[in-house]
Structure 1
Protein backbone atom coordinates (compact mmCIF):
# COMPACT_ATOMS: atom_id res chain seq x y z
CA UNK A 1 0.00 0.00 0.00
CA UNK A 2 2.84 2.38 0.83
CA UNK A 3 4.33 1.71 -2.60
CA UNK A 4 1.02 2.62 -4.28
CA UNK A 5 0.78 5.89 -2.38
CA UNK A 6 4.39 6.68 -3.19
CA UNK A 7 3.75 6.09 -6.91
CA UNK A 8 0.60 8.25 -6.76
CA UNK A 9 2.51 11.06 -5.07
CA UNK A 10 5.18 10.85 -7.75
CA UNK A 11 2.63 11.02 -10.55
CA UNK A 12 0.74 14.02 -9.19
CA UNK A 13 4.05 15.75 -8.60
CA UNK A 14 4.98 15.65 -12.28
CA UNK A 15 4.47 18.92 -14.15
CA UNK A 16 1.19 18.57 -16.05
CA UNK A 17 2.32 20.71 -18.96
CA UNK A 18 5.69 19.06 -19.58
CA UNK A 19 5.80 18.03 -23.22
CA UNK A 20 7.95 16.54 -25.92
CA UNK A 21 8.82 17.65 -29.42
CA UNK A 22 9.84 15.28 -32.20
CA UNK A 23 11.94 16.69 -35.02
CA UNK A 24 11.94 14.36 -38.02
CA UNK A 25 14.55 15.03 -40.70
CA UNK A 26 15.28 12.83 -43.70
CA UNK A 27 18.56 11.72 -42.16
CA UNK A 28 17.70 11.74 -38.45
CA UNK A 29 14.92 11.86 -35.89
CA UNK A 30 15.09 13.08 -32.31
CA UNK A 31 12.52 13.59 -29.59
CA UNK A 32 13.24 16.40 -27.15
CA UNK A 33 11.72 16.64 -23.69
CA UNK A 34 10.84 20.03 -22.20
CA UNK A 35 13.43 19.61 -19.45
CA UNK A 36 16.19 18.72 -21.92
CA UNK A 37 15.54 21.82 -24.00
CA UNK A 38 15.37 24.12 -20.98
CA UNK A 39 18.81 22.93 -19.86
CA UNK A 40 20.27 22.79 -23.37
CA UNK A 41 23.81 24.25 -23.27
CA UNK A 42 22.88 26.85 -25.90
CA UNK A 43 19.55 27.83 -24.30
CA UNK A 44 19.28 31.57 -23.71
CA UNK A 45 16.83 34.09 -22.38
CA UNK A 46 15.59 36.10 -25.36
CA UNK A 47 13.38 39.15 -25.47
CA UNK A 48 10.89 39.41 -28.32
CA UNK A 49 9.59 42.89 -29.06
CA UNK A 50 6.05 43.05 -30.48
CA UNK A 51 5.51 39.32 -30.20
CA UNK A 52 3.13 38.24 -33.00
CA UNK A 53 0.93 36.09 -30.77
CA UNK A 54 0.91 38.12 -27.55
CA UNK A 55 0.98 41.58 -29.19
CA UNK A 56 3.53 42.83 -26.65
CA UNK A 57 7.11 42.34 -25.55
CA UNK A 58 7.72 38.83 -24.21
CA UNK A 59 10.70 37.04 -22.66
CA UNK A 60 11.37 33.36 -23.28
CA UNK A 61 13.86 30.64 -22.55
CA UNK A 62 14.77 29.51 -26.05
CA UNK A 63 17.22 27.50 -28.14
CA UNK A 64 18.47 28.62 -31.58
CA UNK A 65 16.36 26.47 -33.90
CA UNK A 66 19.29 25.89 -36.27
CA UNK A 67 21.01 23.85 -33.55
CA UNK A 68 18.08 21.43 -33.51
CA UNK A 69 18.26 20.89 -37.29
CA UNK A 70 21.69 19.28 -37.77
CA UNK A 71 22.68 18.57 -41.36
CA UNK A 72 19.68 20.35 -42.84
CA UNK A 73 20.36 22.16 -46.11
CA UNK A 74 19.02 25.67 -46.84
CA UNK A 75 16.98 24.42 -49.80
CA UNK A 76 15.16 21.87 -47.61
CA UNK A 77 11.54 22.23 -46.60
CA UNK A 78 9.97 21.80 -43.16
CA UNK A 79 6.50 21.75 -41.71
CA UNK A 80 5.71 22.76 -38.13
CA UNK A 81 2.46 21.17 -36.98
CA UNK A 82 0.50 22.75 -34.12
CA UNK A 83 -1.93 21.15 -31.70
CA UNK A 84 -4.90 22.95 -33.34
CA UNK A 85 -4.18 21.78 -36.90
CA UNK A 86 -2.18 24.82 -37.98
CA UNK A 87 0.52 23.57 -40.37
CA UNK A 88 3.25 26.11 -41.08
CA UNK A 89 5.23 25.50 -44.26
CA UNK A 90 8.80 26.66 -43.64
CA UNK A 91 11.70 27.01 -46.04
CA UNK A 92 14.82 25.93 -44.18
CA UNK A 93 17.09 28.80 -45.26
CA UNK A 94 15.71 31.47 -42.87
CA UNK A 95 15.66 28.98 -39.99
CA UNK A 96 19.37 28.32 -40.38
CA UNK A 97 20.45 31.98 -40.38
CA UNK A 98 22.72 33.08 -37.56
CA UNK A 99 22.57 36.80 -38.33
CA UNK A 100 19.72 39.20 -39.04
CA UNK A 101 16.33 37.55 -38.52
CA UNK A 102 17.04 34.53 -36.33
CA UNK A 103 14.70 31.67 -35.45
CA UNK A 104 14.39 30.40 -31.88
CA UNK A 105 12.43 27.56 -30.35
CA UNK A 106 10.87 29.04 -27.23
CA UNK A 107 10.22 26.42 -24.55
CA UNK A 108 7.51 26.81 -21.92
CA UNK A 109 8.72 25.98 -18.43
CA UNK A 110 5.96 24.10 -16.53
CA UNK A 111 7.16 25.80 -13.34
CA UNK A 112 6.70 29.24 -14.94
CA UNK A 113 3.90 28.85 -17.52
CA UNK A 114 3.31 31.52 -20.13
CA UNK A 115 0.14 33.62 -20.03
CA UNK A 116 -2.97 32.58 -21.93
CA UNK A 117 -3.26 33.90 -25.48
CA UNK A 118 -6.76 35.14 -24.62
CA UNK A 119 -9.50 34.55 -22.08
CA UNK A 120 -10.43 30.89 -22.04
CA UNK A 121 -7.50 29.90 -24.25
CA UNK A 122 -4.23 28.13 -23.58
CA UNK A 123 -0.78 29.67 -23.83
CA UNK A 124 1.47 29.60 -26.90
CA UNK A 125 3.27 26.61 -25.41
CA UNK A 126 4.58 24.07 -25.07
CA UNK A 127 6.83 25.12 -27.98
CA UNK A 128 6.74 28.31 -30.02
CA UNK A 129 8.84 29.45 -32.99
CA UNK A 130 9.85 33.07 -32.36
CA UNK A 131 12.19 35.45 -34.18
CA UNK A 132 14.65 38.10 -33.12
CA UNK A 133 14.97 41.00 -35.59
CA UNK A 134 12.21 39.59 -37.84
CA UNK A 135 12.07 42.76 -39.95
CA UNK A 136 15.52 41.95 -41.33
CA UNK A 137 14.13 38.81 -42.99
CA UNK A 138 10.59 39.96 -43.86
CA UNK A 139 9.25 37.25 -41.56
CA UNK A 140 5.47 36.87 -41.86
CA UNK A 141 3.04 36.10 -38.99
CA UNK A 142 2.58 32.61 -40.41
CA UNK A 143 6.25 31.91 -39.70
CA UNK A 144 5.54 32.18 -35.94
CA UNK A 145 3.73 28.87 -35.28
CA UNK A 146 2.81 28.31 -31.64
CA UNK A 147 1.62 25.28 -29.66
CA UNK A 148 3.95 23.23 -31.84
CA UNK A 149 3.61 19.46 -31.50
CA UNK A 150 6.20 18.42 -34.07
CA UNK A 151 8.54 19.53 -36.85
CA UNK A 152 9.21 17.35 -39.88
CA UNK A 153 11.10 17.58 -43.14
CA UNK A 154 8.92 17.11 -46.22
CA UNK A 155 9.06 17.48 -49.96
CA UNK A 156 8.26 20.94 -51.26
CA UNK A 157 4.67 22.18 -51.41
CA UNK A 158 4.72 22.02 -55.22
CA UNK A 159 5.76 18.35 -55.12
CA UNK A 160 3.20 17.37 -52.50
CA UNK A 161 0.25 19.37 -53.80
CA UNK A 162 0.22 19.77 -57.59
CA UNK A 163 -3.36 21.10 -57.38
CA UNK A 164 -1.87 24.35 -56.05
CA UNK A 165 0.33 24.92 -59.08
CA UNK A 166 -0.33 27.74 -61.53
CA UNK A 167 -0.39 27.08 -65.28
CA UNK A 168 2.87 25.20 -66.07
CA UNK A 169 3.27 27.26 -69.25
CA UNK A 170 4.12 30.33 -67.16
CA UNK A 171 7.74 31.33 -66.78
CA UNK A 172 9.39 30.67 -63.41
CA UNK A 173 9.64 34.41 -62.73
CA UNK A 174 6.09 35.18 -63.89
CA UNK A 175 4.17 37.35 -61.38
CA UNK A 176 1.69 34.51 -60.89
CA UNK A 177 4.47 32.17 -59.74
CA UNK A 178 5.79 34.92 -57.48
CA UNK A 179 2.31 35.13 -56.00
CA UNK A 180 2.29 31.36 -55.52
CA UNK A 181 5.48 31.65 -53.44
CA UNK A 182 3.81 34.30 -51.30
CA UNK A 183 0.71 32.12 -50.92
CA UNK A 184 2.87 29.33 -49.54
CA UNK A 185 4.55 31.68 -47.09
CA UNK A 186 1.50 33.56 -45.86
CA UNK A 187 -1.66 31.52 -46.46
CA UNK A 188 -1.01 27.78 -46.63
CA UNK A 189 -0.50 27.46 -42.88
CA UNK A 190 -4.24 27.93 -42.36
CA UNK A 191 -5.89 27.42 -45.76
CA UNK A 192 -6.19 24.78 -48.43
CA UNK A 193 -6.79 25.48 -52.10
CA UNK A 194 -8.43 23.03 -54.50
CA UNK A 195 -8.59 20.72 -51.50
CA UNK A 196 -4.79 20.61 -51.40
CA UNK A 197 -2.81 21.32 -48.24
CA UNK A 198 -2.42 20.04 -44.71
CA UNK A 199 -4.02 22.89 -42.75
CA UNK A 200 -7.27 22.41 -40.86
CA UNK A 201 -7.89 25.98 -39.64
CA UNK A 202 -9.33 28.20 -42.38
CA UNK A 203 -11.59 27.57 -45.39
CA UNK A 204 -10.50 26.38 -48.82
CA UNK A 205 -9.63 29.39 -50.98
CA UNK A 206 -10.88 28.02 -54.30
CA UNK A 207 -13.64 25.48 -53.61
CA UNK A 208 -16.47 26.22 -54.00
CA UNK A 209 -15.57 29.88 -54.60
CA UNK A 210 -12.35 31.84 -54.75
CA UNK A 211 -12.33 35.04 -52.62
CA UNK A 212 -11.58 37.05 -55.78
CA UNK A 213 -15.04 35.97 -56.97
CA UNK A 214 -17.00 37.41 -54.05
CA UNK A 215 -14.82 40.28 -52.79
CA UNK A 216 -15.44 43.23 -55.11
CA UNK A 217 -12.98 46.00 -55.88
CA UNK A 218 -10.18 46.30 -53.33
CA UNK A 219 -12.15 44.66 -50.51
CA UNK A 220 -10.08 41.47 -50.63
CA UNK A 221 -6.89 43.48 -50.12
CA UNK A 222 -8.55 45.39 -47.30
CA UNK A 223 -9.63 42.12 -45.74
CA UNK A 224 -6.10 40.70 -45.87
CA UNK A 225 -4.73 43.90 -44.38
CA UNK A 226 -7.22 43.88 -41.48
CA UNK A 227 -9.79 41.04 -41.39
CA UNK A 228 -11.60 42.47 -38.37
CA UNK A 229 -12.32 45.71 -40.24
CA UNK A 230 -14.68 43.86 -42.58
CA UNK A 231 -15.77 40.81 -40.60
CA UNK A 232 -15.68 41.37 -36.88
CA UNK A 233 -16.22 38.55 -34.43
CA UNK A 234 -14.35 37.53 -31.27
CA UNK A 235 -13.46 34.03 -32.45
CA UNK A 236 -11.72 35.22 -35.63
CA UNK A 237 -8.28 33.66 -36.05
CA UNK A 238 -6.95 35.28 -39.22
CA UNK A 239 -4.17 37.76 -38.42
CA UNK A 240 -3.77 41.15 -40.07
CA UNK A 241 -1.01 41.41 -42.66
CA UNK A 242 0.50 44.86 -42.29
CA UNK A 243 2.44 46.50 -45.13
CA UNK A 244 5.64 45.97 -43.14
CA UNK A 245 5.09 42.21 -43.44
CA UNK A 246 3.35 42.04 -46.83
CA UNK A 247 4.17 45.15 -48.90
CA UNK A 248 1.59 46.44 -51.36
CA UNK A 249 3.50 45.01 -54.32
CA UNK A 250 3.55 41.54 -52.75
CA UNK A 251 -0.13 41.82 -51.84
CA UNK A 252 -0.89 42.51 -55.50
CA UNK A 253 1.10 39.41 -56.50
CA UNK A 254 -0.71 37.26 -53.95
CA UNK A 255 -4.15 38.40 -55.14
CA UNK A 256 -2.99 37.85 -58.73
CA UNK A 257 -2.21 34.21 -57.91
CA UNK A 258 -5.61 33.71 -56.27
CA UNK A 259 -7.39 35.25 -59.26
CA UNK A 260 -5.41 33.00 -61.61
CA UNK A 261 -6.35 29.91 -59.58
CA UNK A 262 -10.06 30.79 -59.79
CA UNK A 263 -9.73 29.60 -63.37
CA UNK A 264 -7.97 26.37 -62.34
CA UNK A 265 -10.51 24.77 -60.01
CA UNK A 266 -10.27 21.06 -59.49
CA UNK A 267 -12.90 18.71 -58.06
Structure 2
Protein backbone atom coordinates (compact mmCIF):
# COMPACT_ATOMS: atom_id res chain seq x y z
CA UNK A 1 0.00 0.00 0.00
CA UNK A 2 2.83 2.39 0.87
CA UNK A 3 4.52 1.67 -2.48
CA UNK A 4 1.27 2.28 -4.36
CA UNK A 5 0.71 5.57 -2.54
CA UNK A 6 4.27 6.65 -3.30
CA UNK A 7 3.77 5.87 -7.01
CA UNK A 8 0.58 7.94 -7.08
CA UNK A 9 2.37 10.82 -5.37
CA UNK A 10 5.21 10.72 -7.88
CA UNK A 11 2.71 10.63 -10.74
CA UNK A 12 0.90 13.68 -9.39
CA UNK A 13 4.18 15.57 -9.18
CA UNK A 14 4.91 14.70 -12.80
CA UNK A 15 1.59 16.03 -14.08
CA UNK A 16 1.32 19.72 -15.03
CA UNK A 17 -0.88 21.48 -12.50
CA UNK A 18 -2.32 24.06 -14.87
CA UNK A 19 -2.54 22.10 -18.13
CA UNK A 20 -5.98 22.25 -19.68
CA UNK A 21 -8.02 21.94 -22.86
CA UNK A 22 -9.49 24.73 -24.97
CA UNK A 23 -12.45 23.89 -27.22
CA UNK A 24 -12.72 25.98 -30.41
CA UNK A 25 -15.64 25.81 -32.82
CA UNK A 26 -16.07 28.39 -35.61
CA UNK A 27 -18.98 26.56 -37.17
CA UNK A 28 -16.75 24.38 -39.33
CA UNK A 29 -16.04 21.59 -36.87
CA UNK A 30 -14.79 21.48 -33.31
CA UNK A 31 -11.13 21.28 -32.36
CA UNK A 32 -9.82 20.69 -28.85
CA UNK A 33 -6.37 22.10 -28.13
CA UNK A 34 -4.31 21.03 -25.15
CA UNK A 35 -1.87 23.32 -23.39
CA UNK A 36 1.03 21.22 -24.69
CA UNK A 37 -0.20 21.38 -28.29
CA UNK A 38 -0.59 25.14 -28.20
CA UNK A 39 2.83 25.67 -26.61
CA UNK A 40 4.36 23.50 -29.35
CA UNK A 41 2.89 25.48 -32.26
CA UNK A 42 5.48 27.03 -34.62
CA UNK A 43 3.69 30.40 -34.52
CA UNK A 44 4.05 30.69 -30.73
CA UNK A 45 5.62 34.05 -29.87
CA UNK A 46 6.66 36.16 -26.93
CA UNK A 47 4.10 38.96 -26.60
CA UNK A 48 4.39 42.00 -24.33
CA UNK A 49 1.22 43.79 -23.22
CA UNK A 50 2.13 47.24 -21.79
CA UNK A 51 -1.15 47.82 -19.93
CA UNK A 52 -2.72 44.45 -19.31
CA UNK A 53 -6.44 44.66 -18.50
CA UNK A 54 -6.53 41.79 -16.01
CA UNK A 55 -3.28 42.52 -14.17
CA UNK A 56 -3.13 46.30 -14.51
CA UNK A 57 0.56 46.31 -15.44
CA UNK A 58 2.99 45.20 -18.12
CA UNK A 59 2.78 41.46 -18.73
CA UNK A 60 4.75 39.05 -20.90
CA UNK A 61 3.08 36.00 -22.44
CA UNK A 62 3.71 33.03 -24.67
CA UNK A 63 0.93 33.42 -27.21
CA UNK A 64 -0.27 32.51 -30.69
CA UNK A 65 -2.21 34.79 -33.08
CA UNK A 66 -5.84 34.02 -32.29
CA UNK A 67 -7.01 34.26 -35.90
CA UNK A 68 -4.65 31.37 -36.75
CA UNK A 69 -6.84 29.13 -34.57
CA UNK A 70 -10.14 30.28 -36.07
CA UNK A 71 -10.28 28.30 -39.31
CA UNK A 72 -13.12 29.25 -41.64
CA UNK A 73 -14.15 32.37 -39.71
CA UNK A 74 -15.96 34.89 -41.95
CA UNK A 75 -16.30 38.67 -41.44
CA UNK A 76 -20.03 38.44 -40.67
CA UNK A 77 -19.62 35.78 -37.98
CA UNK A 78 -19.87 36.26 -34.22
CA UNK A 79 -17.99 34.21 -31.63
CA UNK A 80 -18.77 33.67 -27.98
CA UNK A 81 -15.88 33.35 -25.51
CA UNK A 82 -16.85 31.37 -22.42
CA UNK A 83 -14.81 31.42 -19.19
CA UNK A 84 -14.84 28.93 -16.34
CA UNK A 85 -16.14 31.54 -13.88
CA UNK A 86 -19.36 32.25 -15.82
CA UNK A 87 -18.05 35.22 -17.81
CA UNK A 88 -19.17 35.30 -21.44
CA UNK A 89 -18.08 37.75 -24.15
CA UNK A 90 -19.37 38.03 -27.71
CA UNK A 91 -16.79 39.35 -30.18
CA UNK A 92 -17.56 39.98 -33.87
CA UNK A 93 -15.30 38.34 -36.43
CA UNK A 94 -14.57 41.67 -38.11
CA UNK A 95 -12.50 42.65 -35.06
CA UNK A 96 -10.79 39.28 -34.74
CA UNK A 97 -9.85 39.13 -38.44
CA UNK A 98 -8.53 42.69 -38.52
CA UNK A 99 -4.87 42.68 -39.56
CA UNK A 100 -4.15 46.40 -39.74
CA UNK A 101 -4.78 47.54 -36.18
CA UNK A 102 -5.61 45.73 -32.98
CA UNK A 103 -4.56 42.08 -32.95
CA UNK A 104 -5.93 39.34 -30.70
CA UNK A 105 -3.59 36.76 -29.20
CA UNK A 106 -4.30 33.60 -27.25
CA UNK A 107 -1.96 33.66 -24.26
CA UNK A 108 -1.18 30.18 -22.94
CA UNK A 109 -0.14 29.62 -19.36
CA UNK A 110 2.88 27.32 -19.18
CA UNK A 111 2.44 24.90 -16.24
CA UNK A 112 6.18 25.20 -15.61
CA UNK A 113 5.96 29.00 -15.38
CA UNK A 114 2.48 29.83 -14.05
CA UNK A 115 1.20 33.38 -14.18
CA UNK A 116 0.84 35.35 -10.94
CA UNK A 117 -2.52 35.55 -9.21
CA UNK A 118 -4.86 38.30 -10.32
CA UNK A 119 -5.03 41.39 -8.11
CA UNK A 120 -7.83 41.89 -5.57
CA UNK A 121 -8.16 38.17 -4.84
CA UNK A 122 -9.71 37.39 -8.23
CA UNK A 123 -7.93 34.07 -8.64
CA UNK A 124 -5.96 33.02 -11.70
CA UNK A 125 -6.20 34.23 -15.29
CA UNK A 126 -5.11 30.92 -16.81
CA UNK A 127 -5.00 28.60 -18.46
CA UNK A 128 -5.97 30.66 -21.54
CA UNK A 129 -6.41 34.41 -21.90
CA UNK A 130 -7.26 36.58 -24.93
CA UNK A 131 -4.95 39.61 -24.96
CA UNK A 132 -4.63 42.42 -27.51
CA UNK A 133 -1.77 44.37 -29.01
CA UNK A 134 -2.67 47.91 -30.14
CA UNK A 135 -6.21 47.59 -28.71
CA UNK A 136 -6.98 51.30 -29.17
CA UNK A 137 -6.86 50.84 -32.96
CA UNK A 138 -10.18 48.96 -32.84
CA UNK A 139 -11.62 50.47 -29.64
CA UNK A 140 -11.28 47.13 -27.86
CA UNK A 141 -13.15 47.25 -24.54
CA UNK A 142 -11.98 45.74 -21.28
CA UNK A 143 -14.66 43.04 -21.50
CA UNK A 144 -13.11 41.79 -24.74
CA UNK A 145 -10.11 40.40 -22.84
CA UNK A 146 -11.64 37.13 -21.55
CA UNK A 147 -9.45 35.09 -19.23
CA UNK A 148 -9.96 31.66 -17.62
CA UNK A 149 -11.11 30.76 -21.13
CA UNK A 150 -12.48 27.26 -21.71
CA UNK A 151 -14.45 27.48 -24.95
CA UNK A 152 -14.88 29.54 -28.13
CA UNK A 153 -18.04 28.87 -30.12
CA UNK A 154 -20.17 30.41 -32.89
CA UNK A 155 -23.14 32.52 -31.96
CA UNK A 156 -25.65 34.95 -33.43
CA UNK A 157 -25.77 38.65 -32.72
CA UNK A 158 -27.18 39.55 -29.30
CA UNK A 159 -30.43 41.11 -30.53
CA UNK A 160 -31.32 37.94 -32.46
CA UNK A 161 -30.49 35.58 -29.62
CA UNK A 162 -31.96 37.70 -26.85
CA UNK A 163 -34.76 39.85 -28.30
CA UNK A 164 -35.97 40.97 -24.85
CA UNK A 165 -32.74 42.98 -24.48
CA UNK A 166 -33.20 44.93 -27.72
CA UNK A 167 -34.86 48.34 -28.14
CA UNK A 168 -38.05 48.43 -30.20
CA UNK A 169 -37.64 48.67 -33.96
CA UNK A 170 -39.17 52.15 -33.79
CA UNK A 171 -36.09 53.46 -31.96
CA UNK A 172 -33.93 55.30 -34.55
CA UNK A 173 -30.62 53.73 -35.51
CA UNK A 174 -28.70 56.88 -34.56
CA UNK A 175 -30.38 57.32 -31.16
CA UNK A 176 -28.48 57.39 -27.86
CA UNK A 177 -30.52 54.37 -26.78
CA UNK A 178 -29.18 52.21 -29.62
CA UNK A 179 -25.68 53.54 -28.95
CA UNK A 180 -26.16 52.51 -25.32
CA UNK A 181 -27.35 49.06 -26.35
CA UNK A 182 -24.15 48.54 -28.33
CA UNK A 183 -22.08 49.66 -25.34
CA UNK A 184 -24.13 47.42 -23.03
CA UNK A 185 -23.38 44.41 -25.22
CA UNK A 186 -19.62 44.81 -25.07
CA UNK A 187 -19.45 45.79 -21.38
CA UNK A 188 -22.32 44.92 -19.05
CA UNK A 189 -23.64 41.89 -20.95
CA UNK A 190 -20.40 39.99 -20.40
CA UNK A 191 -21.37 39.54 -16.73
CA UNK A 192 -25.08 40.36 -16.45
CA UNK A 193 -28.40 39.28 -17.91
CA UNK A 194 -31.23 41.64 -18.78
CA UNK A 195 -34.92 40.73 -18.73
CA UNK A 196 -33.77 37.24 -17.80
CA UNK A 197 -31.85 36.81 -21.05
CA UNK A 198 -28.13 36.32 -21.57
CA UNK A 199 -25.37 33.75 -21.19
CA UNK A 200 -23.32 35.26 -18.35
CA UNK A 201 -24.04 34.49 -14.71
CA UNK A 202 -21.51 36.54 -12.77
CA UNK A 203 -23.76 39.45 -11.85
CA UNK A 204 -27.48 40.08 -11.25
CA UNK A 205 -30.08 40.83 -13.87
CA UNK A 206 -30.13 44.54 -14.73
CA UNK A 207 -33.87 44.95 -15.33
CA UNK A 208 -35.85 42.48 -13.26
CA UNK A 209 -37.08 42.82 -10.66
CA UNK A 210 -35.54 46.32 -10.62
CA UNK A 211 -33.42 48.30 -13.04
CA UNK A 212 -30.51 50.18 -11.36
CA UNK A 213 -31.93 53.47 -12.67
CA UNK A 214 -34.94 52.86 -10.42
CA UNK A 215 -32.97 52.96 -7.18
CA UNK A 216 -29.84 54.96 -8.06
CA UNK A 217 -29.60 58.50 -9.35
CA UNK A 218 -27.70 58.94 -12.60
CA UNK A 219 -24.85 60.54 -10.63
CA UNK A 220 -24.54 57.57 -8.27
CA UNK A 221 -24.92 55.08 -11.09
CA UNK A 222 -22.11 56.75 -13.05
CA UNK A 223 -19.90 56.64 -9.96
CA UNK A 224 -20.75 52.99 -9.36
CA UNK A 225 -19.93 51.97 -12.94
CA UNK A 226 -16.63 53.86 -12.75
CA UNK A 227 -15.76 52.37 -9.35
CA UNK A 228 -18.19 49.93 -7.66
CA UNK A 229 -16.36 50.27 -4.34
CA UNK A 230 -17.21 54.00 -4.25
CA UNK A 231 -20.84 53.12 -3.56
CA UNK A 232 -20.57 50.01 -1.44
CA UNK A 233 -17.31 48.83 0.12
CA UNK A 234 -17.09 45.09 -0.52
CA UNK A 235 -13.65 43.43 -0.76
CA UNK A 236 -15.19 40.30 -2.30
CA UNK A 237 -16.94 42.22 -5.07
CA UNK A 238 -16.05 40.94 -8.55
CA UNK A 239 -16.99 44.00 -10.59
CA UNK A 240 -13.85 45.97 -11.37
CA UNK A 241 -15.52 49.00 -12.93
CA UNK A 242 -14.53 51.19 -15.86
CA UNK A 243 -12.39 53.94 -14.33
CA UNK A 244 -10.85 55.55 -17.42
CA UNK A 245 -11.96 57.16 -20.65
CA UNK A 246 -10.04 54.43 -22.47
CA UNK A 247 -12.08 51.67 -20.82
CA UNK A 248 -15.41 53.55 -21.15
CA UNK A 249 -15.81 57.08 -22.46
CA UNK A 250 -18.20 59.55 -20.86
CA UNK A 251 -20.31 59.48 -24.03
CA UNK A 252 -20.53 55.68 -23.89
CA UNK A 253 -21.33 55.78 -20.19
CA UNK A 254 -24.14 58.30 -20.73
CA UNK A 255 -25.49 56.20 -23.58
CA UNK A 256 -25.65 52.97 -21.57
CA UNK A 257 -27.49 54.80 -18.78
CA UNK A 258 -29.95 56.11 -21.38
CA UNK A 259 -30.45 52.53 -22.57
CA UNK A 260 -31.06 51.33 -19.00
CA UNK A 261 -33.63 54.09 -18.43
CA UNK A 262 -35.38 53.00 -21.61
CA UNK A 263 -35.35 49.30 -20.70
CA UNK A 264 -36.77 50.06 -17.23
CA UNK A 265 -40.04 50.70 -19.10
CA UNK A 266 -39.73 47.42 -21.04
CA UNK A 267 -39.56 44.77 -18.34
CA UNK A 268 -40.02 41.18 -19.39
CA UNK A 269 -40.12 38.04 -17.26
CA UNK A 270 -38.51 35.71 -19.83
TM-score of the two chains, using structure 1 as the length reference? 0.94
Distance 1:230 1:120, change over 3 A: closer
Conserved 8 A contact 1:163-1:196: yes
Please tell me the root mean square deviation across aligned C-alpha atoms, in Å.
2.0
Find 1:250's aligned residue among 233, 247, 252: 252
Find the residue that maps to 1:218 and give its secondary structure: helix
Q: Give the superposition deviation at 1:171.
A: 2.5
* Unmatched tracts of structure 2, length 5 or more: none
Find the residue that maps to 2:179 and give its secondary structure: helix
Find the residue that maps to 2:85 and give its secondary structure: coil
Deviation above 3 Å: which 4+ runs of structure 1?
2-12, 118-122
Q: Distance in 2 between matches of 1:226 and 1:25?
A: 36
State whether structure 2 residue 18 is matched by structure 1 residue 31. no
Conserved 8 A contact 2:218-2:257: no
Conserved 8 A contact 1:100-1:136: yes
Residue pairs, 1:62-81, within 5 angstroms:
62-81=63-82
Q: Distance in 2 between matches of 1:184 and 1:172?
A: 16
Deviations 1:111-151 (A, max 9, x none): 10001114765320000011111122221111111100111
The corresponding residue for 2:261 is: 259
Conserved 8 A contact 1:141-1:239: no
Q: Distance in 2 between matches of 1:243 and 1:135?
A: 11
The corresponding residue for 1:87 is: 88
Conserved 8 A contact 2:28-2:71: no
Find the residue that maps to 1:75 and give its secondary structure: coil
- Of the structure 1 ranges 237-246 and 52-61, higher mean CA displacement relative to structure 2 is found in 237-246
The corresponding residue for 1:219 is: 220
The corresponding residue for 2:192 is: 191
The corresponding residue for 2:109 is: 108
Find the residue that maps to 2:207 and give its secondary structure: coil
Conserved 8 A contact 1:81-1:149: yes
Find the residue that maps to 1:194 and give its secondary structure: coil
Residue pairs, 1:229-244, within 5 angstroms:
229-241=230-242, 242-244=244-246
The corresponding residue for 1:42 is: 43
Distance 1:48 1:219, change over 3 A: same
Q: How many residues align?
A: 267
